[in-house]
Amino acid sequence: MCPPSVILRFAGTFVILSVVLGLLVHPAWFAFTAFVGFNMVQSTFTGFCPLERMLGAAGWMGCQPRLAR
């Protein structure tokens, strides 16, 4: 499990970065923005967050691996 602030920090950074890249480099980067948004919405319904799993497995930023259900 990760603190919610860690997930929000990563998601916000990804959104800002992909919007900047979409404006300055190529509009295809907006697809990444949509992917992040879709992932945030689906995680509210399913409780599954791939970023949380990756950070937990790596032990980054105080995240702990989530035990299998």
Task: Say how far apart CA 49 and CA 34 lie, in whole Å.
Answer: 16
Count how many residues are written for the chain: 69
**CB within 8 Å of 45: residues ≥ 6 apart:** none
Query: For 3-11, what is the mean pLDDT?
Result: 87
pLDDT in tens, 19-62: 999 999 999 999 999 999 999 999 999 988 888 888 888 887 77
Q: What pLDDT, on a 0 to 100 scale, did the predictor assign at position 67?
A: 65
Closest alpha carbon to 15 in 28, 39, 34: 34
